[in-house]
Amino acid sequence: MVKLAEWRGKEIFRRYGIPIPSGRVVRSAAEAADVVRTGAVALPVVVKAQVLAGGRGKGGAVRFASTPDELQAVVSAMLGMQFKGETVKELLLEPKVAVGRELYLSIALDRSARVPLLIASGQGGVEIESMADDQLLRVPVHPFVGLAAYEKLRVGGVFSLTPPASKELGGLLDALWQAFQREDAELVEINPLAVVDGHLVALDAKVIIEDDASFRHPEYAEIRDDRTPLEEIAREKEIAFVQLDGDIGVIANGAGLTMATLDVLSQFGGKPGVFLDLGGTDDPNKVTEAFLLMAKARPSVVFLNIFGGVTRCDTVAKGLVAAMTQVPDSDRFPLVARIRGNNEDLGRQILESAGITALSDLKASAQAVVEAEKQRKAGGGS
C-alpha cells in the first residue's frame, strides 16, 4: 500500500486529463517566494501541507496567504510542523479559487462483490465517513466494461450540474476509471471535486497504489512516506513487519497464525510490540535476518511461534541458532520458542543443543512468554 501525497495524486490526475489547479510544490521559504515572484502561482494562495493524514483543514495544515510577507510567515510556520505524527516537509501552493459547489467522487475495490465500486455524492468536502448513506450513490463498475453511458448519467443525476461542468463529467469519470485501473490503484478519491467558474476541478487528490503491482510500476517503489525505518528494512527483506504499542516481539509464519499468537498473548496479559511474519520460507538466512531485525526493535522478550508446513522446523531452528551468535550482547533478549509440524523433532534437537528450550503447547508457551517479560521487568531490564 503506497499512499501518495496530494501533489503526487494530482500529478496522476493531470496525466489522465482530470483538471487540477496549477500549483507548485515547495520545500523551503525561498522556493515559495520564487514561485510567487515568477508568477508560477499568483497570490492569493492556498498553502497545503503534504501529509498523508486527513483533517488537514481543521488541523492548521491548510492555510492562506495574500501577500509575499504573509506567505513567508505561513510557509515558515508550516515547514517542520508536526501533524498527526508526520513532519511537514513539503507544501503545495495553489491559487486560491472561489469554490462554487463541492462534490465527492471515488473508486475503490468492493471485496465482497469482487468489482470496483464508484461512489459519488453531491455533498463533498467532508470526510466520507461522516456522509449519510442515502447521500452516497454506489455504482459497481465491471472491470471488462468500465463506466457505461447510463451509469455516468446516474452520477450526473446526483451532482445536478449545469453546463459547462455537466458536459465535462463524462470525460472526467472515464479518466478517473482509467487512472484507477492503469495505475493499479487501491483508491482514487477526489474530495472535493469542486465547481469553479462553472468548470469541474479536483481540489484534492487521495491515491493509494497497490504494492503488489510494483513489477509494472517501478516509479512508485521509491515512495515510502508512510513507513517506519524498521518497516522499511523488513520490506526490503520481504518479511511482513508491523510495529504495535507493546514490548513483546512475535515471530511467526503466516498472517493468521501470527494474529492468533497475538490474541493468545493478549489473553494472558502480554502486550505485543513487534509482529514479524516469516511467511512461507525454507531459507535459514531469512530466519536469521528476521531475528536480527527483531533485535533492532529492542523487544523485552521474543516469542517464536512456528507451525512447519512449507517452512520446516529445522530450517527455522538453524536460522535462529545462527542469529543468536550474531546479536550483540547489548541487544540480547529472552526467547520462548514453540515449534510444531514438519521436522519438529529435528528442529527441537537443534534448538536444545544450542541451549534454547522449545515447547510445543501454544497456551503454555504464551504463559511462559508473559512470565519471562514480568521477570525481566522486575529485574530492572537486565
Q: Given the C-alpha cell 523487544, which residue does it identify?
A: 299
Cis check for the bond before 68: say yes or no (omega within 30 of 0): no
Give the contacts of 239 (CB within 8 A, at least 6 positions apart).
276, 277, 278, 279, 286, 289, 290, 293
Q: What does 288-345 look like in DSSP terms, one character per residue?
A: HHHHHHHHHT--SEEEEEEEESSS-HHHHHHHHHHHHHHS-GGG---EEEEEEETTHH
20, 13 contact by CB (below 8 A):
yes
Contact flag: residue 101 with other proteins (CB under 8 A): no
Instruction: Extract the C-alpha cell encoding 314.
Output: 529445522
Give the contacts of 292 (CB within 8 A, at least 6 positions apart).
323, 326, 327
Per-residue interface string for the shown chain with other proteins, residues 244-283, x marking contact by CB under 8 A: xx------xxxxxxxxx-xxxxxx----x--x-x-xx---
Contact flag: residue 228 with other proteins (CB under 8 A): no
Per-residue interface string for the shown chain with other proteins, residues 324-353, x marking contact by CB under 8 A: ----------------xxx-----------
Task: Give catalytic status of residue 104 as yes or no.
Answer: yes
Catalytic residue among 6, 94, 102, 104: 104
For residue 345, the minimal CB distance to other proteins (Å) is 12
For residue 215, the minimal CB distance to other proteins (Å) is 5
Kindly list the distances between the CA atom of residue 207 and the CA atoms of 139, 169, 353, in Å, as whole numbers in the listed order: 19, 20, 52
Task: Give catalytic status of residue 11 as yes or no.
Answer: no
Residue of 310, 332, 345, 357 interacting with other proteins (CB under 8 A): 310
For residue 284, the minimal CB distance to other proteins (Å) is 15
Residue of 184, 206, 356, 376 interacting with other proteins (CB under 8 A): 184
Contact flag: residue 43 with other proteins (CB under 8 A): no
**Side chain identity at residue 8, one-letter code:** R
Give the contacts of 95 (CB within 8 A, at least 6 positions apart).
21, 22, 23, 41, 42, 44, 45, 46
Q: Given the C-alpha cell 509482529, which residue does it identify?
A: 275
**Measured between alpha carbons, how far is 335 from 325 in angstroms, rounded to an integer?**
14
For residue 318, the minimal CB distance to other proteins (Å) is 18
Indicate the residue among 73 and 131 with the shorter CB distance to other proteins.
131
333, 299 contact by CB (below 8 A):
yes
Contact flag: residue 111 with other proteins (CB under 8 A): yes
Indicate the residue among 352 and 361 with the shorter CB distance to other proteins.
361
Indicate the residue among 90 and 277 with the shorter CB distance to other proteins.
277
Contact flag: residue 109 with other proteins (CB under 8 A): yes
Residue of 142, 167, 199, 224 interacting with other proteins (CB under 8 A): 142
Residues catalogued as catalytic = 104, 189
Binding site for other proteins (CB under 8 A): 1, 109, 111-112, 114-116, 129, 142-144, 181, 184, 186, 210-213, 215-216, 240, 242, 244-245, 252-260, 262-267, 272, 275, 277, 279-280, 307-311, 340-342, 361-363
